[in-house]
Copies of this chain bind each other. A is one copy, B any other.
């Protein structure tokens, strides 16, 4: 059984591997208003869930991009995870294919708004 400290350390490692500085900035921005949700994102979301074996990180990011595109109400988080997918080795093509496929399962407006999120992320990366 992992200690709390282990969960936190595993979570921070996964957070940084996937989201780089961007995730850390979200965590930091939560420090004043709700340090607890920041802690849960690290310990639970990244430490308990996302760093589990059994599904590789690329597939995990594809699953997240699919879900956030389909739900369509979390555009900032979708952009973080498009960056995250690129950070763990997904190609731009794989990301676009995932978003395009959501036209079948969640309709064209959801898919279009996902494509525009990807376009912004790709342009930001090309610019920097």
Contact B60 A59 (CB under 8 A): no
Residues in B whose Cβ lies below 8 Å from that of A58: 59
Contact A33 B118 (CB under 8 A): yes
* CB within 8 Å for A63 and B101 given contacts A4-B2, A74-B110, A109-B77: yes
Partner of A62, one of B63, B72, B115: B63
A21 at the binding interface (Cβ < 8 Å): no
Q: Measuring CB to CB, which residues of chain A are less than 8 angstroms from any residue of chain B?
A: 1-5, 26, 30, 32-34, 36-37, 40-41, 44-45, 48-50, 52, 54-55, 58-60, 62-74, 76-77, 93-94, 96-98, 100-113, 115, 118-119, 122
Listed by A's residue number, 18 A-B pairs whose Cβ atoms lie within 8 Å are A3-B3, A33-B118, A40-B108, A41-B108, A45-B108, A50-B104, A54-B94, A54-B96, A54-B97, A55-B97, A59-B98, A66-B70, A70-B70, A71-B72, A71-B73, A77-B112, A104-B107, A104-B108
